[in-house]
Amino acid sequence: MNGNTPVLALKGVSKSFGPVQALSDVDFEVNNGEVVALVGDNGAGKSTLVKAIAGIHSVDEGQVLFEGHEVKISGPTDATHLGIATVYQDLALCDNLDVVENLFLGREKVGDGPAAVVHQMDETGMEKRTNELLSRLAVTITDVRAEVGTMSGGQRQQVAIARSLLGEPKLVMLDEPTAALGVRQTAMVLGLIKRLREEGHAVVVVTHNLADVFEVADRVFVLRLGRKAGDFDAREATQEEVVAAITGAEFGRNGDEAGGEQ
């Protein structure tokens, strides 16, 4: 794909809730086949930024460019239509439904002919597509007809991520995908994120876990008090630098001068 134009670029974006300035003058971009970790302390504006991109909040000022074109994202459906998929921390899965049913929820395949009239679902078609998608992502779920409620946290996270990929999005945003997961489960989810990158998706991961950040991210974008506090190349930056940017402590270099991409 076009290597030069970022999938998504925000320029000078600001957002306030009444007197609270949640985001001020933030520049942010993410490219194809790139995993950007979005880090920051509580209240730094991470979720506001994600929600602005996902269309849940509208931005007050600044430009949003999607694949080089200026766009206005005024609702979640706008974001979905552009090709932006978001997996929130609560995953929004129905525990009483199985993997296939959850993946296709709200966009079930309907059969042809008379089946279409009564919205009869094409179960075999959906199951086949689920198997294809999961094996492409190397997600190991033995029984796609098992209820999601009986699955481990890691599996549920994988199901939620797989669901976001069903619409072939260009940008996938994951909110705290490894929170509350064990070591093995975390490795499973991080492996999945790497495969998203290999497939050429742009990925934004919101996380608190710096070990995850250095394990999976190409770039680390730090927010502090609603402002950009650093944009690091994950291969070159040290954990101390990132922590300093997050906390605002005077340690070493300031994040803005670090080896980011801009």
Partner 1 sequence: MSAHGGGGAAATADVVEGVEQPRLDLARRFIQGDLAELRVVLILGVIWAIFYIQEPRFLSSVNLTNLVLQATAVGLVAVGVTLVLLLGEIDLSVGAVSGLCGAIMAVLIEQKGWSPYLGIAVAVLAGTAIGLFQGSVFTAFAIPSFVVTLAGLLAWPGAQLEVLGETGTVNITDSKVTGLTSTFYSDTVGWIFAIAGIGAFAAFTLLARQRRVRAGLKAPPLSTLVIRIGLVAVAVLVAIWVLNDDRGLPLAVLILLGFVLLFFYITTRTTFGRYIFAVGGNAEAARRAGISVRRVRVVVFMIAGTMAAIGGIMAASRLLAVNQSSGAGDFLLLAIAAPVIAGTSLFGGRGSVWHALLGALVIQSISNGMDLLGLESSVKFMVTGAVLLAAVIVDAIARRQRQAAGRV
Using CB under 8 A as the criterion, which residues of the chain lie in contact with partner 1 when the complex forms?
Answer: 76-77, 90-98, 101, 105-108, 110, 118-121, 123-125, 127-128, 131, 143, 145-147, 149-152
Question: Nearest distance from residue 183's CB to partner 1, in Å?
Answer: 16
Write the CB contacts of 233 (distance below 8 Å, at least 6 apart in sequence).
218, 219, 220, 258, 259, 260, 261
- Residue 98 identity: D
| Residue 142: CB minimum distance to partner 1, A | 8
Cβ nearer to partner 1, comparing 94 with 211: 94
Query: CA 232 to CA 127: how far, in whole Å?
Result: 41
161 and 181 Cβ atoms separated by less than 8 Å: no
Return the number of the residue (72 or 145) whose C-beta is nearest partner 1: 145
Nearest distance from C-beta of residue 204 to partner 1, angstroms:
19
**By C-beta, is 69 or 119 nearer to partner 1?**
119
C-alpha to C-alpha distance for 64 and 62, rounded to whole angstroms: 7
228 neighbors 256 (Cβ within 8 angstroms): yes
What the block records as the tokens of 178 is 């490894």
| Minimum distance, C-beta of residue 218 to partner 1, in the bound complex (Å) | 29
- Between 115 and 211, whose beta carbon lies closer to partner 1? 115
